[in-house]
Amino acid sequence: MIDIVLLTLLLAVAIAIIRMKDLFAVVMLSGIYGLLSASFFVAMDAVDVAFTEAAVGAGISTLLMLVVITMTGRSENTTRHKPFPALLLVVITGCLLIYGTLDMPYFGSADAPVHSHVAPRYINDSMQEIGIPNIVTSILASYRAFDTFGELVVIFTAGIGVLALLSSVRRPDNGDKIVCINYSMHEQHLVVRIVTKMLLPFILLFALYVQFHGDFGPGGGFQAGVIFAAAIILYAMLFGLSTARIVINQPFIQLISATGVLLYGCVGLVSLLNGGNFFDYNFLSNDAITGQHLGIFLIEWAVGCTVASVIIIIFFNFADYRERQQSNENEHNQESP
């Protein structure tokens, strides 16, 4: 019953996203879409995925898209041409995909390949082989460590791409802005700033909890990194970029993002040197279970570092670019009249 309600809502939101012309509303709706799919995952008992979806899909990606919208403008360009060939192509592809699903096993059937292939082994043997209660974490960090490594490299590449496109050498200026922030605090954003100051330590603490509790419950490096970055972004949005830049040293955070990937790769290399396969944590220590625990701990730590720092890098560079754009416009406006 609740599945049907959630799926209907998802469909309604998706149609609204297509129909809407106001990009700001579209971004908000995509956030709602993320939250709805997170609740859908909870209804299907996939709490780890739901956690990730709530943190990434509803939280951070909405925020990053909002930052992009401040650069591109709010309204969608009107299309003059009628894209009938494209519509035809989409309809044909959709029909083929639906035709393809006819061969798939019935939803939730017990003899589906996904339930009979590797899943029984993970469920039965994970406790003896890995020794941590959360099977999702043991699959993600140990059985499928190589896939996770690929994901981490993708995130790192995104950070590098943003850096290559948007970053610039910073002029050591605007020291006056930082001083005046404390004065303007009493006029604007007073309530939000005080509440944020109260909440920030708890958000950071919660990020650490998610990071280290991933072995026992839903959580892990990805979610922890996103929550950590969200706290920093909240701080930067409310107290100004220049203040946040004092707290978060840009070169240092870039170093951290690279260090995370390096640490992840090194864990694999060490297990290779100790005589096992790449990412075979049994060889990290004398005892196999201890080795697994050590490997998963290090890898979650690496993932958390890289994800947090890459998201902070992306946000800072976008916001920085926007600030430069605005200051250029202001200079133009002052010159022209």
Q: Which residues bind other proteins (CB under 8 A)?
A: 191-192, 195, 198-199
Q: Please say which residue, 102 or 198, places its beta carbon nearer to other proteins.
A: 198
Smallest gap from Cβ 235 to other proteins, in A, equals: 15
Q: How far apart are CA 142 and CA 279, in angstroms?
A: 7
Per-residue DSSP letter, 281: G
Q: 263, 109 in Cβ contact below 8 A?
A: no
Q: Please say which residue, 60 or 162, places its beta carbon nearer to other proteins.
A: 60
Q: How far apart are CA 230 and CA 238, in angstroms?
A: 12
Q: Please say which residue, 239 or 301, places its beta carbon nearer to other proteins.
A: 239
Smallest gap from Cβ 184 to other proteins, in A, equals: 14
Smallest gap from Cβ 325 to other proteins, in A, equals: 21
**Residue 279: CB partners within 8 Å, gap ≥ 6?**
142, 145, 146, 149, 267, 268, 271, 295
Smallest gap from Cβ 192 to other proteins, in A, equals: 6
Compute how many other C-beta atoms are within 10 angstroms of the C-beta atom of residue 208: 13
Compute how many other C-beta atoms are within 10 angstroms of the C-beta atom of residue 219: 27
Smallest gap from Cβ 311 to other proteins, in A, equals: 22
- Among 239, 248, 157, smallest CA distance to 197 is for 239
Smallest gap from Cβ 206 to other proteins, in A, equals: 10
Q: 303, 309 in Cβ contact below 8 A?
A: no
Smallest gap from Cβ 294 to other proteins, in A, equals: 30
Q: Please say which residue, 63 or 141, places its beta carbon nearer to other proteins.
A: 63
Residue with tokens 């870039």: 254
Q: Please say which residue, 167 or 196, places its beta carbon nearer to other proteins.
A: 196
Q: How far apart are CA 281 and CA 292, in angstroms?
A: 5
As given in the structure block, the two tokens for residue 209 are 């909890």
Q: Please say which residue, 119 or 203, places its beta carbon nearer to other proteins.
A: 203
Q: Please say which residue, 5 or 88, places its beta carbon nearer to other proteins.
A: 5
**Residue 16: CB partners within 8 Å, gap ≥ 6?**
29
Q: Please say which residue, 202 or 278, places its beta carbon nearer to other proteins.
A: 202
Q: How far apart are CA 58 and CA 64, in angstroms?
A: 11
Smallest gap from Cβ 244 to other proteins, in A, equals: 19
DSSP letters for 70-131: HHH-SBPPPP-S--HHHHHHHHHHHHHHHHHHTTSPPTT-TTSHHHHSSHHHHHHHHHHHT-
User: What is the signed CA dihedral for 288, 294, 295, 297, rounded to 10 degrees?
Assistant: 140
Q: Please say which residue, 118 or 192, places its beta carbon nearer to other proteins.
A: 192
Smallest gap from Cβ 195 to other proteins, in A, equals: 5
